[in-house]
Amino acid sequence: MATAELLHKLRIEIGGNSQIDKTIWKAPSLAHGVAEGVVCELLGNARTEWLIQLFRMHPDKRIFWCEKEQRISPLAIRQRGVDLDRILFMDSSVDHQKILHRTLESSTYPFIVSPQLSNDVKTLQRLHLLCGKGKSTLFFLPDKQFSQAWPVSLQLDVNFLDDEFKVEVVRQKYGGGEP
């Protein structure tokens, strides 16, 4: 039984609210969506395409996209229907963590994309708290594997299968509706 499903059933059994009080972003091929104000890790061969589709589903939300070296093509994002005026791209090979903290503290961007900074629990916990306070959803794009640190609320393995997304939920602490 998936963790989210088990938590949902336990909340109902003890007479509590079966829903977590968080805004849920609609997401492609993910019925439960993505909770606002959490840290999310994405792996898989379609993670960037999945993110772009998520951004298309929320055309009025601003995006901060930070990379240590430029890997994403703004032209490709525009070709997929996302207005580039909504996105602030930042190449940061210097103090990436400081830039990310300031961006989260600003509460300006509901969506923030970043390479994985660290697997250090204290660092991730600070980011998790800043995400909740600023109502920003932080998407980490790790290179090889998911973090085992507890502050990461959602881990998705996103791949293409027969021209559609196959999204496997590896970890989910918050979600919308029935799991």
| pLDDT(44) > 70 | yes
**Computed over its alpha carbons, how large is the radius of gyration of the chain?**
16
pTM above 0.75, yes or no: yes
Q: How many other C-beta atoms can be found within 10 angstroms of the C-beta atom of residue 4?
A: 19
Domains of the chain: 3-172 (3.40.50.300)
Tell me the C-alpha distance between 167 and 144, whole Å: 17
Mean pLDDT of the chain: 85
pLDDT of residue 168: 92
Q: Which residues contact 157 (CB under 8 A, 6 or more apart)?
A: 43, 44, 167, 168, 170
